[in-house]
Amino acid sequence: MPVYARIVKLPSRPLQAVLLVVGLLAALLAAALPTATTAHAAVPDRWGFAYLDNPTPPPGYSPDPTRQWGSWPSPSSTPVTVDQLGLGSYVVHFPQIGGPGGVAHVTAVNKAGDWCQLNAWQPNGPNEDVYVSCYRPGGAPDNSAFTVLYTASTGAPSSPVGSYGYLFSDVSGALLAQYNSTGAANSVGKGGVGIWKAWLPNLGLSDYSGNLQVTAVDPKRPARCKVSDWGPSSSGQTVLVACYDANGKPYDTRWTLSYSYQRAVHGPVYPPKAFGYLWFNGSLPPQTNFNSVGGSNSLGISGSVFIVTMPYVANPPDHSQVTAYGSDPGYCGLATPWDRSGGTASLYVDCFDPGGAPVKGQFFAAYTSAA
């Protein structure tokens, strides 16, 4: 797969169907936000990640061992397992990390425009079960490979490096779970249909810095969520989240959001020593392009697929997540699993319009190793 080093400035192609949404976004930037309670202990307390490499797994299937890990004892000998519940429906069992709260994210690994979303997550005895559904363009259930991550944090981080926060929002903007590494309280304000404004105080820098991930959570209907806009300041990060149904129409659903600055996508730092992230918004803002080992990340294009290259960080077991960015209802995922070669991790990001046609979209990409 050839890689072209030239970064292409993407044209802005707003869709007529979302003009109302764009107007609502501008109004939300000035809206006041409700308060929320502060979470309380280490970063993270419990976590796990996995890549379902078989879209039709047999019962009790343990996916790719080089792309799964977690905070439970002996993760190499106590693997993640996945059961298929129906067409495009799965439950991922993370062993021995069950507990309250936390957030999850999922990214489809699919060239055909399928996407995956969360249904729910909950403790099941000592384990944490994460329920995932995948859909083809148009909204019919479909089997798909995917990456999935669960993480839960409380209290102050053990290292002062960087900052980290997450939240799980109800349709109304009420927080069902939240964490902020500075001890501040995150909050969410509801706008029009499918629009919310998240506030993460004291995190990041006054200029664009760090990485964002957003995932739809809906057990009843197909849904997609993305970062629609982002406003950093010296007092924290304002993030506009937009969600859509299978046809690209604004839609109210639950969703999760994570923010990490100089930290891995699930919250920790040193370990892991090898991780990175990148934001492509038509350019590559420098402080949103991070490599923990000091390498220089780069972005290339092969056809409609973006190749995110992160030198020196490839160190399995490892993981990746992708989230779309922009005011249109397009979405993004991974075309194939990431490659590792000579210490370099290469992520293959594909984006689609609401009908599933490939487009050169804008996105956040994150990669992390376990150690």
Q: How much is the pLDDT for 42?
A: 64
Output the six-digit token pair for 319.
């993981």
Whole-number Å distance between alpha carbons of 256 and 73? 27
Q: Could you tell me how far CA 168 lies from the centroid of its own chain? A: 12
Q: Please identify every stretch of the chain with a pLDDT value under 50, giving residue numbers as ranges.
A: 1-41
Q: Decide: pTM greater than 0.85.
A: yes
Question: Is 181:156 a contact under the CB 8 Å cutoff?
Answer: yes
Whole-number Å distance between alpha carbons of 307 and 209? 21
Output the six-digit token pair for 317.
């077991």
- The residue to which tokens 């600055």 are assigned: 261
Q: How much is the pLDDT for 141?
A: 98
Q: Got the DSSP string for 114-183?
A: -EEEEEEEEEETTEEEEEEEEE-TTS-B---EEEEEEEE--S--SS-SSEEEEEEE-TTS-EEEEEETTS
Sort residue 288 into left (φ over 0), alpha (ψ -120 to 50) or beta: alpha
Identify whether 272 is preceded by a cis peptide bond (ω within 30 of 0). Answer: yes
Identity at 136, one-letter amino acid code: R
Identify whether 317 is preceded by a cis peptide bond (ω within 30 of 0). Answer: yes
Q: How much is the pLDDT for 258?
A: 98
